[in-house]
Amino acid sequence: MSHKITRQTFDEVMMPVYTPFDMLIKRGKGSYLYDDKGNKYIDFTSGIAVNCLGHCNKEVLDIINEQSKQLIHVSNLFTNDKTLSLAKCLIDNTDFDKVFFVNSGTEANEAALKLARRYAHDVYGDFKNEIISFNQSFHGRTFFSVCVGGQDKYSDGFGPKPQAITHIPFNDIKTFEKSISDKTCAVILEVVQGEGGIIKANDDFLLKVRSLCTKHNALLIFDEVQTGIGRTGKLYAYQTTPVIPDIITSAKGLASGLPIGAVLAKDDVASHFSKGTHGSTFGGSALACAVGEYIVNKVSNKNFLRAIKMRHDLFVETLNAIAKRTGKISDIRAYGLLIGINVKDSLKPKVPNLIKTCASHGLLLLSAGHNTIRIAPALNIKTHTILDGLAILEKELNAV
Ligand SMILES: *Cc1c(COP(=O)(O)O)cnc(C)c1O
């Protein structure tokens, strides 16, 4: 019996945690998506900062094709050349010594938080277990990660939560000074809060956090799940700041669409993930790592990073002009190709609907925080696609 699959099928067969857009996506190419009715959409979402080279990139397809004929997965009972090559490539392009692979952002944070707790337990004793995190932060949906994240609505209603987690205001040095102590084992933050509304950590704040973490022997973890892999203009966003954290986590763009995550740390910390303390069946598969190695080499190239800066400049210039012409934009926050747009307060309740009407007119956008419009396109999006997309946004802004 044949059953026609439509958008309606979602409501029949899927657990209702998501409310996907009204169309059914069939195909993607570069920065464009196509639905089952043949409609074409400009994609400013790139799978939420995942498809960093766009949809069905030729080189990525070639690697998937070749590698899938060699080896897809063997588990961590065995190692393989692709996993080791990606690990080496990540180490060569950052300030860290060791890598642990997982399959997603939340798993990377889960592993980083467990590593920080284990390090403190081994080196200082069990009293040192407190984690400091920030309001509006987002670290994923597994239970430890979601409880560390700064939005209660995501973690409430699932029973007893992991203990010793404190949430304080972001970019607030005074509160941070009062909150950190010798009992703090880790501080975790996003260099640019993504889900929270595209809010960047100030340099002064980061310098203070770094120095107090060092003073109190607390590990500083940067969640680079969204900001990593060229998103903010360097391979990792910490490379745009005056500090070096002790641990970073990476995922989203790392294999341009294949599921992968990574935790990076220095040797003295990494050694506390000793035999048997953590694990993952799928983590660091040969297939995902083969693509990851290509992506990290591609994105860390100076010319590629320079081109991200040019695309950033075009977005900012054009958005500023749109702000002037429409008078409806109150703030533009852009870090590389992670861009947040706020509309004037009176229009804020209309943002969800604005995003819907943009979609029906061929432009796909994200939201973040309190009705911020978020743009996170493929890192290689073309100039004319940027301009075409922003023209649709301007038209729809004028209509609200
Ligand atoms: C998306 C995101 C996560 C969660 O990643 P998943 O792959 O969905 O588990 C964690 N942290 C940040 C900063 C993110 O943007």
> What is the distance in A from the centroid of ligand 1 to the CA of 106?
6
With a cut of 60, say whether residue 1 has pLDDT above it.
Answer: no
| pLDDT given for residue 3 in this prediction | 77
pLDDT of amino acid 2: 58
Report strand pairing: 130-134 vs 165-168.
parallel
Q: Which of 190, 191, 226 has the most ligand 1 atoms within 8 A of CB, as the residue to mutate?
A: 226
Q: What is the whole-number distance in angstroms between the Cα of residue 6 and the centre of ligand 1?
A: 28
| 229 CA → ligand 1 middle, Å | 13
Q: What angle do CA 248, 47, 88 make, to 5 degrees?
A: 35
Residues 6+ apart with CB under 8 A from 24: 5, 6, 7, 35, 36
Query: Ligand 1 pocket: which residues have CB below 6 Å?
Result: 104-106, 109, 138-140, 190, 194-195, 223, 225-226, 251-252
The token duo for 123 is: 């080196």
Q: Which atom of ligand 1 is nearest to the CA of 105?
A: 5
Average pLDDT for residues 160-173, to the nearest whole number?
Answer: 98
pLDDT for 38: 95
The preferred substitution site among 188, 225, 372 for testing ligand 1, maximizing ligand atoms within 8 Å of CB, is 225
Ligand 1: nearest atom to the Cα of 252: 7
- Ramachandran category for residue 56: left, alpha or beta (phi over 0 → left; psi -120 to 50 → alpha): left
* CB of 170 closer than 8 Å to CB of 135: yes
For the CA atoms of 306, 312, 318, 319, what is the dihedral angle to 10 degrees?
-170
pLDDT digits (tens, 9 = 90+) for 109-126: 999 999 999 999 999 999
Cβ contact 390:318 at 8 Å: yes
**Which ligand 1 atom lies nearest to the CA of residue 141?**
9
Percent of the chain's residues with pLDDT above 70: 100
Nearest to 140 by CA among 244, 263, 229, 54: 263
Mean pLDDT score across all residues of the chain: 97
Three-class SS state of 106: helix
Q: Other CB atoms closer than 10 Å to residue 278's CB: what's the count?
A: 15
Does an H or E element contain 48, and which?
helix 46-49
**Phi-psi domain of 190 (left: phi exceeds 0; alpha: psi -120 through 50; beta: other):** beta
The whole-number average pLDDT for the span 245-272 is: 98
pLDDT confidence bin for 162, thresholds 50/70/90: very high
Closest C-alpha to ligand 1, atom 6? 105
CA of 38 to the centre of ligand 1 (A): 31
Tens-digit pLDDT profile for residues 29-69: 999 999 999 999 999 999 999 999 999 999 999 999 999 99
- pLDDT of residue 397 exceeding 70, the answer is yes
Under 8 Å CB-to-CB from 330, ≥6 apart: which residues? 342, 343, 344, 345
Helix, strand or coil for residue 388? helix
Pocket test for ligand 1, best of 103, 136, 139, 143 (most atoms within 8 A of CB): 139
Write out pLDDT tens, residues 183-205: 999 999 999 999 999 999 999 99
DSSP labels, 128-152: --EEEEETT----SSHHHHHHSS-H
* Ligand 1 centroid to residue 140 C-alpha, Å: 5
Q: Which residue has the tokens 């959409």?
A: 41
What DSSP assignment string belongs to 197-213?
TSEEPPHHHHHHHHHHH
Span 70-79, mean pLDDT?
Answer: 97
Structure tokens at 31: 């920065």
| Burial of 390 per CB tally in 10 Å (0-12, 13-18, 19+) | buried
With a pLDDT cut of 90, the percent of the chain lying above it is 99
The tens digit of pLDDT for each residue in 281-293 reads 999 999 999 999 9
| Helix (H/G/I), strand (E/B), else coil: 318 | helix
